[in-house]
Amino acid sequence: MLTFLTAQQMIDEAKKVADTVDIEKVKDLRGSGALVLDVREPNESQEGHLEGAIAIPRGVLEMKISDEESDHQRTIVTYCASGGRAALAAATLRKMGYIAVLASEAGFNDLQAAGLPCSKPN
């Protein structure tokens, strides 16, 4: 028999595969050379993103990640608007063999409010 999951159940399952981190840890990881991935949709990331972040929407992550990062050992931090897509993306990356992947529990607005440097469109 097939089992169907809600979006929240899928996010909860993803958080079991990939660890989540708080704002302070995101700050530390940004400063340590981690790859920061903005997995929001293009219209969202165009309105602003963490400085230095690479934008790869979650829907195309599997096809695009190797263009940006081939080192499966490098620490990767994912973030989105609220944390759900970040967890799903991190779990996907773990399944693809990236071993040091973490998902931000905080969304972009919370990261920005916490003082992380952000780029905004001109």
Confidence at residue 121, expressed as pLDDT on a 0 to 100 scale: 60
Residues 66-122 pLDDT 10s: 999 999 999 999 999 999 999 999 999 999 999 999 999 999 999 999 999 998 765
| Spatial separation of the C-alpha atoms in residues 54 and 45, rounded to whole Å | 10
Give a yes or no: residue 9 inside a domain.
Answer: no
Give a yes or no: residue 88 inside a domain.
Answer: yes
Give a yes or no: residue 25 inside a domain.
Answer: yes
What range defines the domain where residue 83 resides?
18-116
Give a yes or no: residue 29 inside a domain.
Answer: yes
Give a yes or no: residue 122 inside a domain.
Answer: no
| 120: amino acid identity, one letter | K
Which CATH number does the domain housing residue 63 bear?
Answer: 3.40.250.10
Give a yes or no: residue 44 inside a domain.
Answer: yes
Residues 23-69 pLDDT 10s: 999 999 998 999 999 999 999 998 899 999 999 999 999 999 999 99
Q: pTM to 2 decimals? A: 0.93
Positions marked active-site: 80
Confidence at residue 100, expressed as pLDDT on a 0 to 100 scale: 95
Give a yes or no: residue 2 inside a domain.
Answer: no
The number of distinct structural domains making up the chain is: 1
Confidence at residue 31, expressed as pLDDT on a 0 to 100 scale: 86
